[in-house]
Amino acid sequence: MRVHNFSAGPAAIPLEILEQAQAELCDWQGSGMSVLEVSHRGKDFVACAAHAEELMRQVLGVPDNYRVLFLQGGATGQFAAVPMNLSDPGEVAAFLNTGQWSGKAIKAALAQGVEVQVVADEDASNYTTVPTPGSFTIDPGTRYLHYTPNETIGGVEFGYVPDPGDTVPLVADFSSSLLSEPLEVNRFGLIYAGAQKNMGPAGLTLVIVCDDLLGHARPETPDIFNYAKMAASDSMLNTPPTFGIYLLGLTLEWIIARGGLEAMAVRNRVKADLLYSAIDSSRLYHNPVAPDARSRMNVVFTLSDPDQGPGSGSGPGPDPDQELTDAFVAGAAEAGLVNLKGHRSVGGIRASLYNALELEDVEVLVTFMAEFEAAHC
Amino acid sequence: MRVHNFSAGPAAIPLEILEQAQAELCDWQGSGMSVLEVSHRGKDFVACAAHAEELMRQVLGVPDNYRVLFLQGGATGQFAAVPMNLSDPGEVAAFLNTGQWSGKAIKAALAQGVEVQVVADEDASNYTTVPTPGSFTIDPGTRYLHYTPNETIGGVEFGYVPDPGDTVPLVADFSSSLLSEPLEVNRFGLIYAGAQKNMGPAGLTLVIVCDDLLGHARPETPDIFNYAKMAASDSMLNTPPTFGIYLLGLTLEWIIARGGLEAMAVRNRVKADLLYSAIDSSRLYHNPVAPDARSRMNVVFTLSDPDQGPGSGSGPGPDPDQELTDAFVAGAAEAGLVNLKGHRSVGGIRASLYNALELEDVEVLVTFMAEFEAAHC
């Protein structure tokens, strides 16, 4: 029996996609081979990769002057690749720091000798907010402005696209929210994302980069991180993660069949609203994130004994109760609601509501939450 | 119908493995989830990765003072990662140049500022030979000696392990021959290999490294390439290519069930011998590689009109006949023998005989070769 899988990543994949991959796993397109067994340079797989790229361009509305690259190494790899491709040592890059993932990107840029300017840091709110639009300024000579549209651990999401000014390219780690809603790609110089949330399996990294930014990589940039070389070889400078590219194609077909990114945006908004209102109307569950910064993708909450503090719902609430939290995770798993444990660095509960999650999954979760609250309060 | 798949990589996978992956693709171990959908940090996947590592240690006989790492980026990534981890700019590394893949490793080391000493270069034979044992010397201060045990494009393989002396660690790109026969791991400082030949799907890179070599990475080494950091986090510093690790585990179980690496060595020797003797006894087919350097994994040959030059078999033979070559590839494909086209840089024919290939696949090939020769000569 399929469970309700709230994993933060690698994350749920629509059953239709898994079933198609399963059906053709030993014989892909009547070739007598698995898609896992074919050369990346053979015409069948070249067509498969071109199809995935074409669908990505169509679904996301990628302009012609942007390259779509299929790489490896995840966002963590890109934390190093971005400064290697877009800056020389000693040059300035600006960062918005909204939590653990922006923090990692900053640390990696420092390791590449970048002069990092953190132009907004949400430390004062303990990373439960995003910067107010217009509250930061970027020097014109800055090589790029980097931000993290969605912080998977903190459950914090930008409701807007930051404005880096006319001359500074915007770089975004879209690992956990790409394809969850429409995006104006031309507002970005570079977008990167691991596939394992909304796009497919772990091991595929998507990079969408404006032509203007190509060709400036430092000489020691490893080939697999060199955007210009990868663009010139259609991402086949070396063997790409073929199964991931194949599954990305299936995922994009699924998104199109479901009505595209507009439909995904509605679907994801409705799911998140349902869960946040369950939290806000409870005395047991607490979400610490500012209302305008709440993530649609990763809903974090804690459980606190209502008798130990003010009954709230919204806001950090009283100290979390570990015993209640453990009971919640165990009870949820018994009810088929799995992977709800918060990130090990913060604890609590995290329900990730990527594209593959159906409204029904969230309905089952909020029903369980209400029953659990009734039983424990 | 399954075809006979001689792809150089991504390459054939044993049907039993594909069928097991297929059977459990939508419900892994009764979890109600695909292995593609589970967190890499969940206990089920952590156990899966630990199992793959344990089997690798068992099958290959990896000593306790070596780490087994599951990385991304392929051998091409390692071409940069090795110098980043084992040398500082300006330090000396020695290389044996036996063809295109050693050449790429050399170029990438140069890009990392390494002082490259090519202590043996098989250019005089047009890369159809390997260096004679003992024909090269390594300065004691050299950081490492790098070589390519099997050249996938040239079809050249070392029949021995080079001796770098007592103080210099040996580094080997085992992408196309790891797990094809037993190996004395303790003769190496570092072994790396892409998985897509003998170990599973594209997108997983295996690194086996001696503890002594950890902890010397350059400060700017990207985290995903930093062996010490990856070792300290059990290869889970970031999200690893989970499906590849899972398939590696299945592949190792398959190898064990087939009798381990001793059995693989026999199996691979018999297959290669059969094909080489078909070539050597023909007037149409020619393999240019020196007998002691012929690859068991990648058998390359050309077709030349016997009336245009000396009938041979062994040796480069007269100029290849492109028309005959095309007819061979087309006819073979009709007979269910696929992916036989040589690498685009060299042309001709290449039959890759990795572990997954059965003797029967090669028997069908040599039968076709004989029929083709009879029909065209």
Q: Is B152 left (phi over 0), alpha (psi -120 to 50) or beta?
A: alpha
Q: Single out the residue of B90, B106, B110, B180 nearest to residue B147, CA to CA.
A: B106
Query: Which residues in chain A have Cβ-Cβ distances shorter than 8 Å to B40?
Result: 10, 202
Q: Mean pLDDT over residues B101-122, rounded?
A: 98
Share of chain B above pLDDT 70, in %: 98
Buried b (16+ CB within 10 A) or exposed e, B35-56: bbbbbbbbeebeebbebbbebb
- For residue A208, list its beta bridge partners: A68, A191
B72 and A75 within 8 Å at the Cβ level: the answer is no
Task: Write the pLDDT tens digit of every residue in B112-168.
Answer: 999 999 999 999 999 999 999 999 999 989 999 999 999 999 999 999 999 999 999
User: What is the average pLDDT score of chain A?
Assistant: 96
What φ, ψ does residue A199 adopt, rounded to 5°?
-125, -10
What are the tokens at B291?
Answer: 């007998």
* Candidates B37, B194, B240; nearest CB to A12: B37
Whether the pLDDT of residue A313 is over 60: the answer is no
Measured between alpha carbons, how far is A335 from A214 in angstroms, rounded to an integer? 50
| A115-129, A142-156, A299-313, B17-31: segment of lowest average pLDDT | A299-313
Contacts of A262 (CB under 8 A, 6+ apart): A182
The answer to whether the complex's ipTM is over 0.85 is: yes
Residue A85 corresponds to which tokens in the numbers above?
Answer: 């491709």
Q: Which of B2, B202, B344 sits opposite A241 (nearest CB)?
A: B202
Interface test with B, best of A238, A329, A355, A357 (most B CBs within 10 A): A238
Mean per-residue pLDDT, B185-198: 97
Residue A309 confidence (pLDDT): 62
The answer on pLDDT for B312 being more than 60 is no
Any idea of the CA torsion for A338, A344, A348, A351, to the nearest 10 degrees?
A: -40
Q: Is the pLDDT of residue A311 over 60?
A: no
Best probe of the A interface among B13, B24, B33, by most A CBs < 10 A, is B33
What is the pLDDT confidence band of residue B309, given thresholds at 50, 70 and 90?
Answer: low
By annotation, the residues of A acting in catalysis are 101, 173, 197
Convert the pLDDT of each residue in A277-289 to its tens digit. Answer: 999 999 999 999 9
Sort B263 into a burial class: Cβ within 10 Å, 0-12 / 13-18 / 19+: middle
In the structure, what pLDDT confidence band is assigned to residue B252 with cuts at 50, 70 and 90? very high
Tokens of A341: 């444990």
Percent residues over pLDDT 90 in chain A: 94
Whether A239 and B202 lie within 8 Å, measured CB to CB: yes
Mean pLDDT, range B269-297, rounded to an integer:
97
pLDDT, mean of residues B359-372: 98
pLDDT at residue A124 greater than cutoff 70: yes
Q: What pLDDT is stored for residue A109 in this prediction?
A: 98
pLDDT, tens digit, 9 for 90 and up, residues A293-305: 999 999 999 999 8
Q: Do B244 and A33 touch (CB under 8 A)?
A: no
8 A C-beta contact, residue B245 and residue B160: no
| Mean pLDDT value of segment A107-120 | 98
Q: Which among B1, B48, B238, B337 is the top mutation candidate for probing chain A, defined by the most A β-carbons within 10 Å of its own β-carbon?
A: B238
The pLDDT-based confidence of B316 (bands split at 50, 70, 90) is: low
Q: Is residue A318 very low, low, confident or very high in pLDDT (cuts 50, 70, 90)?
A: confident
Kindly name the residue from B28, B101, B271, B321 that is annotated as catalytic. B101
Return the pLDDT at B306: 82
CA of B286 to nearest chain A CA: how many angstroms apart? 24
- Enumerate the β-bridge partners of residue A301: A349
B80: which chain A residues are within 8 Å (Cβ-Cβ)?
Answer: 220, 222-224
**pLDDT top residue among A313 and B328:** B328
What pTM was computed for the model?
A: 0.97
CB B115, CB B93: distance < 8 Å: yes
**Over 80: is that where the pLDDT of A316 sits?**
no
Residue A50 token pair: 């071109």
Residue B280's nearest CA partner among B259, B250, B301, B254 is B301
Residues pairing with A116 in the sheet = A93
For residue B339, give every residue at least 6 positions away whose Cβ sits within 8 Å of its Cβ, in sequence order, or none. Answer: A38, A39, A42, B5, B6, B7, B8, B352
pLDDT reported for residue A306 = 81
A310 — pLDDT class (breaks 50, 70, 90): low
> Which tens digits make up the pLDDT trace of A196-249?
999 999 999 999 999 999 999 999 999 999 999 999 999 999 999 999 999 999
Q: Are B213 and B189 in contact (CB under 8 A)?
A: yes
A219 with B243: Cβ contact below 8 A: no
CA distance B232 to B43: 18
B chain contacts of residue A200, beta-carbon cutoff 8 Å:
36
Note the pLDDT of residue A315: 65
* Residue B202 clears pLDDT 70, i.e. is over it: yes
Longest dimension (CA), chain B: 66
CA distance A307 to chain B (A): 33
> Comparing A20-24, A278-282, A353-357, B315-319, which segment has the lowest mean pLDDT?
B315-319
Chain B residue with the nearest C-alpha to that of A238: B76
Give residue-wise pLDDT tens across range A174-197.
999 999 999 999 999 999 999 999
Contact check, Cβ <8 Å, A223/B80: yes
